[in-house]
Amino acid sequence: MTATTANAGERRRYWFSIAALAVVLPVAILVHTGDTIRERLREMRNPITVESGALQRYAGADWRLTGLARLPGSLPNTAIVLAEFEATVDDPPQLAENRCQVALTDDRGRRWEPAFLPESAVRKVKPAAADKPHCGLFEKISPGDTVMMAESFVVPEGAESLALSVSLSGALPAYLLFR
């Protein structure tokens, strides 16, 4: 190998390293600050506070929390919270086009996402709720239809003052906060 070939190989590795650094560094920064960015976006939202049982117009439907039940958890020091809610549809296209997000929060600011599948405790105590659809399944609906939904959450046993938040992508920054 000649000196010119070695220099060409070194230059190629040098420029490849610089190009890789230009890609890896922004990705590392984004990954590191991702949670902070999501928190800031969450703080910019406008909650519409709704008392349990009351109707609230939001994103093409009238929404109501019909139940927030605490069940024994399958793991130690946990509880299952079953949130049942409904939407009476007024504008099916508006409702069907939006992605629905549901979360449970407590008075300490902690946040829980719904469990993918209902817990066995939900199936035993409230089997009808376990068969209800999750939020966001708004296909084949007509004006006046009432869509009954349920979500289950695994929370610490000591979680108090729980509130259910429901948001649809097309209606942000406003979201419903059922207390």
Q: Are residues 21 and 101 in the same domain?
A: no
Q: Are residues 18 and 103 in the same domain?
A: no
Q: Are residues 38 and 89 in the same domain?
A: no
Least confident segment among 26-40, 75-89, 129-143? 26-40
Q: Are residues 98 and 32 in the same domain?
A: no
Q: Are residues 25 and 51 in the same domain?
A: no
Q: Are residues 34 and 108 in the same domain?
A: no
Q: Are residues 25 and 12 in the same domain?
A: yes
Q: Which of 109, 179, 162, 103 is nearest to 135 (CA)?
A: 103
Q: Are residues 11 and 59 in the same domain?
A: no
**Span 116-133, average pLDDT:** 81
Please tell me the total count of domains within the chain: 2
pLDDT, tens digit, for every residue of 72-84? Answer: 888 899 999 999 9
Query: How confident is residue 37, by pLDDT bands cut at 50, 70 and 90?
Result: low
**Residue with the larger pLDDT of the pair 33 and 21:** 21
Q: What is the pTM of this model?
A: 0.72
For the chain, first and last CA: distance in Å?
75
For residue 14, the enclosing domain spans 1-44
Query: How confident is residue 42, by pLDDT bands cut at 50, 70 and 90?
Result: low
Residue 146's pLDDT is 93
